[in-house]
Structure formats: C-alpha cells, structure tokens
Chain A
Amino acid sequence: MSSETGFDPALYDRFPTKGERPAGELKQLEDIWCKPKGWELLTAVNNNYIGFFYVATAFAFFLLAGVLALVMRVQLALPLMGVLPQETYNQFFTMHGTVMMFLFAVPAMEAMAVLLLPQMLAARDLPFPRLSAYAFWAYAVGGLCFFASLFVGLAPDGGWFMYPPYTSTTYSPGINADFWLLGIGFIEISAIAGAIEIIVGALRTRAPGMTLAKMPIYAWAMLVFGVMIIIGFPSVILCTLLLELERAFNWPFFDATRGGDPLLWQHLFWFFGHPEVYIIFLPASGLVSMVIAAVNRTPLVGHNLIVLAFLATGFISFGVWSHHMFTTGMPTLSVSFFSAASMAVSVPAGIQVFSWIATFAMGRARYNTPTLFLLGGLITFVIGGLTGVMVAMVPFDWQAHDSYFIVAHLHYVLIGGMVFPFFAALYYWTPMTSSRALSERLGKWIFWLMFAGMQVTFLPMHLTGFMGMPRRVYTYLPGRDWDLLNMISTVGAFLFGAGVLLFLIDCARNMRFTTDNDAGNVYRGGTLEWLPTGLYSTRSIPVVKSRYPLWDDPDLPKDVEEGRYFLPNSATGLRETIVTSPLRAEPQYVQIMPGPSPWPLLAAIFTAGFFMILTIQAYYTAFANGVLAIACILRWMWDTDRLVPDKKVDVGAGIMLPTYRTGPGTHGWWAMIILLIVVGMIFTMSVFGYFYLYGIHPQFWIKPPDVTWLVPILLGHGGGAGLAILARYMLARENTELWTPGVLICCAAASLLFGFGVDCWNWTAHGLWPTASGQGAIVYAFQSLQGILVFICVLMAGYLSARNSRALIVCPRNNTMDLVVMFMCYTAVEGIAAALIARLFPGPF
C-alpha cells in the first residue's frame, strides 16, 4: 500500500491492541474534557456545546422568520387587507428572506457540521474550537441585534438582495439599509470563520485510515460547502462594503450618472447569491445521503457519483449567477452561456436524486419520521428543480421574472432541498445529543402537517404568478382572480406553522440535552458518530477500514470504548487530537487544543458592537468596541502556539508522533491559506468591478498618475515582503534574545505602510478623489482593502514582537512567525497588483 507521508500503513495492524489499558486513563480524559458548570457554559468551546447552541439558535431564527411569513400571509389572504402597512410589509419580506437565508439556512448547516463532524470523523473536536465559539457568538449576538431592528421600525426594506438604486441614499435615506449592509457583511465573516474550521477539520482531523474514498458522504458535502463559502462569500462582503461606502461617503460605485453602475451590484451579489442556494443544498444533500443509507440499512448507492456530483455542483454553480439577470439586457451570447450552465447544473442534482431513489430501491426502508421527511423533501425538491429548469430558459424567465412563480420555485427548492432534510436530520441525530429520542408518533403528524402545508401554500403560487401577481406587493385589488389562490396559500402556511409548533412541543417533551447519556443509535447508523462518546468524543480514535465501520466491524464500539485504538488517553495531559494527512488520513502529529475561554465570547460581543453601533453612526463608541474586539482576539491568541515538554508522545501501540510541527503540513498553515484565498477573492472581485466600470462608462475615466511613481510603491511592498521573509530566515539562525526577527517584522510592516502611503498620496496628488467618479471610487476601494491589510500587518508585527519579547517565538521555526510572514507576503503581492492595475490599465491615453 502506498503512503502519503512516509507513515507505514502496516502499523494499523497493531490495532485493536490487546491487554488491559492502565487504570485512570479514562478518568484523566474526563477531567481534561470536563463539563462547564453554571456561567462557565458561556466560556465553553467544545463542539458538543457550541454545536448544540448553534443548532438551537439557527432554529430560533427559523421560527422568527417563519412568524414574519405567517403575518405576511395574513396580510395577503384577502385583497386590501390592513394588517401591515406598506412600509412594515417591506421590512417584513426583507427580514423574512434575509433571516431565512443568512441567519437560518447557512448557519444551520454550519451548526450541524460543528455538532456532527468531529464525531463522524472521530476527532476530539474541530481543529479551532475557539474559532467555532467566536463564529457562533458573533452570529448569535449580531443576528439578534439585527433582528431587533424590526421592533424599532429600522429593519431593512429593500428586499433580501438589496438592489441599488432602491437602496441608495436617494431612495432609502434612513439607516434601515445600513443595518442590512453592516449586519450581513459582519455575519458573513462569521460564516467564513466556520467554513475555515470545517475545511481544515474535514481534511486534517479524520480518523487514521479514513482516506478520501472512505470519508463519510456528509463530510464530502461539508468540504465542498466550505470551499464554496470561501469562494462565494467574499463577493457579498465586497458588495456590501462598496454600497456602504457609497451610502456613507458618497463614493459612486453604483451611480450611473457618475461612472458607476447599479448592475455591478447584481453581478457581485449573485456571484455569491446563486452558489448560496447550493451552499444550502449540498450539506442538506449530505445529511440526506447519510440518513437514507441508515434507514434503508444499505450502503448509499452511487457514493462515488454523489461525490462527483458535489464537486461538479461546486464548480458549475459559480457559472450561473447571471441567470438572475436575464431581464437586464446583457449580450445575447452571454445570456446563452448562463442559460446553458443553469440547465447543466441540474445534472449533478439529478445524479443525487437518482442515487437516493436507487438506495430506496436496494434497501428495506423503514417508514419512520426521518424517512418521511426524506421522501417529502425529495418530492418537493424535484418539483422545485423542474421549475428551476423552466426559469433557466430565457424566454420563460422573461415572463415569470419577479412574479409569484419565482416565489413558488425558490420555496420548493429551499424547503424541499434544505428544510425537510434538516428536520429529517434533527429526528435522526437527536438521540446523539439527547437522553431521549423525539417522538415517532408526533413526528409523523409533524411531517404530514408540514408537507401538506408546504404544498397547499406554494403550489397555488405557480398559478398566482402565471396570473400576473408580482412578488413583494403588500396588497392587491379585488377582481383579479388572485383572491382564492392567496387564501389557499394562507391556509397552507398556517398548516405548515402548526407542524412546526407541534415540533416545538415534541422538543419540549423529549429533547434532553446530554453529553454522556445519550439515547444511542436508534436508527442503526453505520458511521462513527454512533460510537459511544463523551465530551472528549470517542475514548480512543479508531482505524477506519470502510465507509460504514460500525456495520462492518460489530466489535468496534467495544474496542474503541476500551481504549484499544489511537490516543486512548491524554498523551500530553492536555486537550489534544491527532492531525492526519489530507488524502489518506495518515497520522502526522498531535495537535494541542485550547480549552474553555471567555475571550471568544467577549471578542464576538465587541465585534458585533462595532458593526451594529457603526450603523447608528455613534462612531467613537463603535471605534472603542473595535479596539476591544481586537484586544480580546489577541488575548485569546496569546495562549496558543505553545510548546509542550514532550516533543514526541506515544499515541497508542507504541506509535510515536510529534507534538509540534511547523510548515505546510500544519493545520494553522492550511487555515491561513484558506483565509488568504478569501482575501484574494475579495480583491479579485474588486478587480472585476474595476474592469466592469471601465467597460461600461469609459468616458468618466481620467489618465492615471505617471508610472514612475510605481517605483517607490513597488519598493515599499516588495521590501516589506523581503524583510518578512528575512525575519523567518533569521529566526532559524539567531537566538531570539537578540530580538532580530521581531525588529525585522516591524520593519517589514513599516515598509508595507510606506508603499501603501505613497500609493494613496499619489492618487490624491493626482487629483482623483473617491467621490469624483466610478474610477475614483473603485481605485480608492483598492486602497481601502489594502489599508485594512496593512493595518492587520501592523497589528501582527506588534503581536509578534510582544511574543518575541516573552521568548514565545521559538527557534528554529515557529508557527506564529510563519503565518505572519505569509500574510505580509500576500499583502505585498496584493498591493503591487492593485498599484499596477490602476496605473497600467487602461493606461495613459
């Protein structure tokens, strides 16, 4: 058998080990991974707690947005109803869409991953537990503040995709739109933090032997989900930033009268917005694929094809964004490409659906609640998919665009593709986190109420749309034959609501959160999350030899529980897990994991405070919150990246692994690479904006400054990167007491600051201001992005110097130093690229 890292796979044959394990090992594990008590719950970072909080919070947002939907349906039940005034209705539909998409659907999927992935991969926890905690608290605090804007009449009202010019200051002068722009932009940062956690977790913390071929299908789905987030979400972060800059400082990115273009928003938004649908669907598809195998007691049919379908969806979904823009007058050929891609993306979805049907055909399905939700979701999603192919055809889309047909289509896709699978998953996995399973009898009632409610609500909307009812109208006149259909939809919505209410009752009666006394494998699943677990996850980490290890090795739970596999104890006396290689999951090193801490919570509160207070224009208070957030993050980081006394430890069966690694193989390195991809995507999308604005309105553009100014700018950035690399080199040579690496890193930051300063000054001296034109706005957007990076570099330099002064930067190599150098080099590259693009294109003319 080949090896990826030099690890000898024959060593796996030593497991399960023979003989009794020393007494006290289990007690040591329990002490190290002890339960938080009382207020300590707020400092918990363990995935069992954070995952549960996360799922519960996401579900709470589902309820809140659902209540908004019910009130809207009452308003539309009859013509000329007066339940909601027009302005309030606008806020309701905007908040309903926004909360469902940004605060329920994506976070719910990340939440499930935080809860399930470590157990499914038999890792002790996800690789960055404090990042998970920060992502959760930021989302929860920020989301609740955002939702509360509704109670004071300040909720956004421009629709969940916030098209300018509706949302420009001219047409939306209040701060409602700012709540959306700052709130959602901030919540997306939390989503990206979660995605980094999930990608690194899926690739680097799998149980030994769990090659990509044996990785659970859900982990595959979450891997693709994470990658799609880091590619897609930067676009929405950028466009929210640009629109906020336009609103706050009058930078005309989207103002067609000054060289901007409102369609730029649509391109940027939908480059995120359409993949978002698959970002929601793929994890749900992963959940379905797991549950369907268990309830049918047979391996998933077409496992490899589904993996390929996930990957293909991940790629193709980034080629369909403009199908939301068929009515905007794009070139015919471009429209044809997007139409073709929109039809093509249904092929991977079809592969998944046929695989699920085949699994049902091959297995012996038990018609319990998860099965019913799976079948209901399948039927509903297929209907939504077919109407999706209809609207992918351009002439049809021209007719159906912005009508209730689209409302019906998107709800069929999202409820069938995500909500029903989510409920199936809740029923299936509740016994893993609760001492009692949810009720099967109530569950069937819940399913039929929700399924019937769904169809009764949304099936008539296809007709309402065909009959010409536009979406987002707050009322309509009698005599247009819309009355009956709307009344039916309203009745259906309340049926659906009754199902959800019954689910809450079921939860109240049966859900009893536990970390060590769960109801167990009620549905007879075959994957590792059904091993006996505590807060430390499994007692020992098994060697994985198949996709359904519990079905193929009935002794596995007993052997794992008796500590006969990897890491049966705490080898270092600290929280730890095994980091494995990305392809073949070969053990590489023992990662020391951080424990409970209040700093992620505090950092999240102050970060949310910064963004939310910025909305109400209390700038000093917002600034203070920003400073405190940074201080909390640095304090939380301070405890990390420490050496332990033992350089190598026995992880079981005499296999020795290092406790500290540096370089490209480390989990920190992977996280930094992913972060830099996110930053790079933000920059790439801004470059797209630059070329786009020039292509649309070249008459507003002026000649750039003389190219000789590139010399000091490039020297500044290049010097910064060079000094940073030199610092890393010097660390390997010098004793840290000489301070050399810290000083060099500070010089590197100063050099980057110099390059950035010259670039900014050069444009202002040239007479181009950001308020002048689309060119000015986008050039200064480059500067703003670069300014943020340089600011972070300065912070990093200070932090690294402080660690250096406390002898925490160890020779010859150190992870903190490596990551700072990488970030600085990236900053230099982006600064150089921005300077070159803005001066050489379109060039002196």
Chain B
Amino acid sequence: MRAWAYMLGGLIVWTVHFFAIYIAASVFPGLPLGHVLTLLITLACLAADAWLIVRLRVPSGGDDFREWMRKLALVGAGISAISVLWQGLPALIV
C-alpha cells in the first residue's frame, strides 16, 4: 500500500480537497464560512502538494522502476496542485 500511496499521493490530495470543499459548501450553503473553509482547505492541500513535489524532486537513486514511479508521482503531484488551485478558485469569485 505504501508504494501505491507514494505513486498516487498527489491525486489523493486532490480527492481529499474536492470532497472536503464539497462538504464545506453543502454544510454551510450561502454562508461566508463556506468560502473561508474552502480557502483554508485549498491552502492546506496546496501545501501538501508542495511538500510532495519537494520530496519527489530529487532522484531516488533506485533502479529504473523506482525512478519511473517517482516521475509519475511527481507529475501527479504537479497536476494535483494545479487542479486544487483551479477547484478552489470559485470560493474567491462566486
């Protein structure tokens, strides 16, 4: 499971972010608290993505397969960061 969590870390962050902001917006519909929570959750998830990217940036020094996993995880974390930002934007503009 650790290997899968390593490889899918970024996408897992995106999932946590999406469902967390959905719950926040549903529990506090139309209230400023919903927006504030969305922003806080977005910042936390961006921080998690940034942490993943920093950790994954350095080559692991393992064999080809290990490197393949690292690169996949790194790009996944990058995509996750963009998606989290994109997903959190409505809280600023709606």
Residues of A in contact with B (beta carbons under 8 Å apart): 1-2, 211-213, 304-305, 307-308, 311-312, 315-316, 318-319, 331-334, 336-337, 339-341, 343-344, 347, 583-584, 695
Contact = CB atoms under 8 A, between A and B. Distances in A.
Given A315-B15, A331-B34, A341-B87, 15 more contacts: A213-B65, A213-B68, A307-B72, A311-B8, A316-B83, A318-B15, A319-B22, A332-B94, A333-B25, A333-B29, A334-B22, A334-B26, A337-B21, A337-B25, A340-B89
Interface majority SS on B: helix, strand, loop or mixed?
helix
A340 B90 CA distance: 8
B25 A584 contact: no
Contact of B65 (A304, A319, A334, A583): A583
B87 A340 contact: yes
B85 to A, nearest CB: 10
B61 to A, nearest CB: 11
B28 to A, nearest CB: 9
B56 interface: no
A312 B76 CA distance: 8
B30 A308 contact: no
B90 A336 contact: yes
Interface string B56-68: 0000001111101
25 contacts: A1-B63, A2-B66, A213-B65, A304-B71, A304-B72, A304-B75, A308-B72, A308-B75, A312-B76, A315-B12, A315-B15, A316-B83, A318-B15, A319-B19, A331-B25, A331-B34, A333-B30, A333-B35, A334-B25, A337-B87, A337-B90, A341-B18, A583-B3, A584-B65, A695-B26
Interface in B7-62: 8, 11-12, 14-15, 18-19, 21-22, 25-27, 29-30, 34-35, 38, 62
Contacts of A304: 68, 71-72, 75
A319 B17 CA distance: 10
Contact of B94 (A311, A333, A584): A333
A190 to B, nearest CB: 27
A331 B94 CA distance: 11
A402 B26 CA distance: 25
Nearest to A211: B65
Contacts of A343: 86
Contacts of A307: 72
Nearest to B26: A334
Contacts of A584: 65
Contacts of A311: 8, 11, 76
A805 B46 CA distance: 58
B29 A316 contact: no
Contacts of B15: 315, 318-319
A304 B70 CA distance: 12
A312 B11 contact: yes
Centre residue among B11, B64, B79 by max chain A CB count within 10 A: B79
A783 to B, nearest CB: 26
B56 to A, nearest CB: 13
Interface majority SS on A: helix, strand, loop or mixed?
helix
Contact of A2 (B26, B63, B91): B63
A341 B72 CA distance: 22
A2 B65 contact: yes
B83 A344 contact: yes
Contacts of B3: 583
A334 B83 CA distance: 16
Contact of A319 (B18, B35, B64): B18
Contacts of B65: 2, 211-213, 583-584
A315 B90 contact: no
Contacts of A344: 83, 86-87
Centre residue among A319, A343, A584 by max chain B CB count within 10 A: A319
Interface residues on B, range: 35 or more
Contact of B22 (A211, A337, A695): A337
B62 A333 contact: no
B35 A312 contact: no
Q: Which 4 A-B pairs have the closest CB atoms?
A: A336-B90, A331-B29, A213-B68, A333-B25
A333 B91 contact: yes
Contacts of A337: 18, 21-22, 25, 87, 90
A308 B27 CA distance: 33
A357 B27 CA distance: 44
A331 B22 CA distance: 10
A2 B68 CA distance: 13
Contacts of A315: 11-12, 14-15
A620 B30 CA distance: 52
Contacts of A312: 11, 76, 79
Centre residue among B11, B18, B30, B89 by max chain A CB count within 10 A: B18
Contacts of B29: 331, 333-334
A213 B11 contact: no
Contacts of B12: 315
Contacts of B94: 332-333, 336
Nearest to A339: B90
A33 B30 CA distance: 65
A2 B8 CA distance: 21
A315 B15 CA distance: 7
A316 B14 contact: yes
Nearest to A334: B25
Centre residue among A319, A333, A341, A695 by max chain B CB count within 10 A: A333
B39 to A, nearest CB: 11
Contact of B64 (A213, A318, A340, A695): A213
A308 B79 contact: yes
A332 B30 contact: yes
A307 B72 CA distance: 9
A266 to B, nearest CB: 14
A316 B76 CA distance: 12
A841 to B, nearest CB: 13
A206 B68 CA distance: 18
Contacts of A2: 62-63, 65-66
A305 B68 CA distance: 11
A568 B62 CA distance: 33
A692 to B, nearest CB: 9
Contacts of A319: 15, 18-19, 22
A318 B94 CA distance: 23
A368 B86 CA distance: 42
A584 B18 CA distance: 32
Nearest to B24: A333
Contacts of B83: 316, 344
